[in-house]
Amino acid sequence: MNYLINNQPKKTKAFIAGVNLNDPNFDYYMTELRELALANNLDVVGQASQKAENIVSGTYFGVGKINQIKNMARELYPKVLVINDELSPTQIRNIEGMTKLKVLDRTELILEIFSNRARSRQAKLQVQLARLQYELPRLHPSENNLDQQRGSGGASGGFANRGSGETKLELNRRTIGKQISAIKKELKDISKQEEIKSARRNNSCLPQVALVGYTNAGKSTTMNELLNVFSDEANKKQVFEKDMLFATLDTSVRRIDLKDDLSFILSDTVGFISKLPHNLVESFKATLQEAKDADLLINVVDASDHNMVQMVKTTQKVLAELNITDMPMITAYNKADLTERNYPQIEGNDILYSAKDPESIRQLANLIVKRVFDNYEKVNLVLPLSDGKNLAYLHEYGQILSEDFKDDGIHVTVRLSPKDLDKFKTNAI
């Protein structure tokens, strides 16, 4: 329960713990777990870890480590024990029984954060679906009231009561199964609507650029600053940004109009994290469709974080799970202002920048132009004087270099995409 203090909810004290199976990235995962706990309004008061060759099937930790955590908890007064891995129902019940603390595993913690942050109908349904898929295999007869009657009566009575318990369990499973089916159907309908919107954007011939990367690396800030630098209506189009994990789960799409009449569609996708629950990856495939349809990905990385390399690997792993491979990419190392390195710097397809620095944003835009407009060609066209529709199209989706109204038509020098080159081939001179 949260209590309001000066209009702010009081944070619940939490203790984090995990088992290290000789994993070189274990410390990184524990740091990440702490950040996840903070993102869920938990106050981390302590942590513990155990090195082991294998996980103990019934209790996750060895009994000695559980007793140690129990003794530490007596001094620190946490209410919640957050575990670095996904646990089985048996492990959760046993640890709770031995420590007298509420146990929250990593998967459920992430699900809680996603549930609190979802805003759109699509995001809320995706989180609800992932939660139901997480809960379904965790249903257990002992959680049913009927199951408490098993020990009474004779052999036939015991059998009958056990059957009642199992019937209740199956009823719960069917109920969740129906909910999952209903949510999948609604998500499919929403997905169709999003596909129509995406198709319209693709048919516009404007290049599609998607921001991807680790959560809290600065994707939303990058989008907002691109809007600030290049859009006259930036304040009307800002996306939500905050210095915390999973500040937003909804994909935002904006049109960026650069100088020289160059424009592209930019999407800001949900952030990634290590050990992202598989059900969430599956649930958010529709949300990440923007990344799959993109002409260019911008992998935003926090250059000030010493776990930067691991974050890049995490993003690559999640993209691979989504079958997003072999796609043109810019690796954008953000938050250079928090390091001692000079910025902005561009080396090949990499940029070191600060999303809060206008010059960095202009350099990033130049790099985007170089990547997505590289296959555009400059052509000379002549349009009929009455062809205002195609002239407007060229202004909307091409880069007009010159325009001259003459007796024989409208002479236009324009830079076009390969798709539009074919569209206007009969007008070329």
CATH of the domain at 287: 3.40.50.300
**Residue 215 annotated as part of some ligand binding site:** yes
How far is Cα 173 from Cα 153, in angstroms, rounded to an integer? 27
Q: Same domain for 222 and 341?
A: yes
**Residue 250 annotated as part of some ligand binding site:** yes
Give 318's pLDDT tier (boundaries 50, 70, 90). Answer: confident
Alpha-carbon distances, residue 316 vs 88, 127, 286 (angstroms): 28, 23, 18
Q: Same domain for 93 and 210?
A: no
**Residue 85 annotated as part of some ligand binding site:** no
Residue 254 lies in a domain: yes
Mark which of 354, 373, 392 sits at the end of a domain.
Answer: 373
Task: Give the residue carrying structure tokens 């693709």.
Answer: 202
What digits encode the pLDDT tens for the residues 210-247?
999 888 899 989 999 999 998 766 445 666 555 555 55
How far is Cα 27 from Cα 18, in angstroms, rounded to an integer? 10
Alpha-carbon distances, residue 280 vs 22, 91, 108, 120 (angstroms): 27, 22, 11, 16
Residue 144 lies in a domain: no
Q: Same domain for 340 and 207?
A: yes
**Residue 217 annotated as part of some ligand binding site:** yes
Among 52-66, 281-295, 361-375, the range with the most confident prediction by mean pLDDT is 52-66
How far is Cα 361 from Cα 367, in angstroms, rounded to an integer? 10
Q: Looking at per-residue confidence, does 314 or 92 come out higher?
A: 92
**Residue 28 annotated as part of some ligand binding site:** no
Q: Indicate the DSSP class of residue 300.
A: E
Which has the minimum average pLDDT: 164-168, 318-322, 376-380?
A: 164-168
Mark which of 330, 347, 373 sits at the end of a domain.
Answer: 373
Q: Same domain for 397 and 368?
A: no
Helix (H, G, I), strand (E, B) or coil at 414: strand
pLDDT at 156: 41
Residue 182 lies in a domain: no
Mark which of 86, 104, 122 sits at the end of a domain.
Answer: 104
Residue 139 lies in a domain: no
Q: Same domain for 202 and 316?
A: yes
What digits encode the pLDDT tens for the residues 134-149?
888 877 655 544 343 3
Residue 133 lies in a domain: no
Q: Same domain for 369 and 397?
A: no
What digits encode the pLDDT tens for the residues 319-353?
887 788 888 999 999 999 999 999 999 999 999 99
Domain span at 274: 196-373
User: Which whole number is the average pLDDT over 90-102?
Assistant: 94
Alpha-carbon distances, residue 216 vs 172, 181, 375, 394, 405 (angstroms): 38, 33, 33, 38, 51
**Residue 272 annotated as part of some ligand binding site:** no
Q: Same domain for 208 and 343?
A: yes
**Contact indicator for 363, 353 with CB cutoff of 8 Å:** yes
**Residue 213 annotated as part of some ligand binding site:** yes
Task: Please give the model's pTM, rounded to 2 decimal places.
Answer: 0.72
pLDDT at 146: 37
pLDDT at 118: 75
Q: Same domain for 238 and 287?
A: yes
Q: What percent of the chain has pLDDT over 70?
A: 81
**Residue 356 annotated as part of some ligand binding site:** yes
Bond from prior residue into 418 cis (ω within 30 degrees of 0): no
Residue 97 lies in a domain: yes
Q: Same domain for 291 and 364?
A: yes
Q: How many CB atoms lie within 10 A of CB 188?
A: 10
**Residue 302 annotated as part of some ligand binding site:** no
Q: Same domain for 339 and 407?
A: no
Give 76's pLDDT tier (boundaries 50, 70, 90). Answer: very high
How far is Cα 16 from Cα 246, in angstroms, rounded to an integer? 20
User: Which whole number is the average pLDDT over 258-285?
Assistant: 77
Q: Same domain for 395 and 342?
A: no
How far is Cα 102 from Cα 30, in angstroms, rounded to an integer? 19
Residue 112 lies in a domain: no
User: Which whole number is the average pLDDT over 149-175?
Assistant: 56
**Residue 379 annotated as part of some ligand binding site:** no
Helix (H, G, I), strand (E, B) or coil at 8: strand
pLDDT surpassing 90 at residue 187: no
Number of domains within the chain: 3
**Contact indicator for 306, 142 with CB cutoff of 8 Å:** no
Residue 164 lies in a domain: no
**Contact indicator for 85, 105 with CB cutoff of 8 Å:** yes
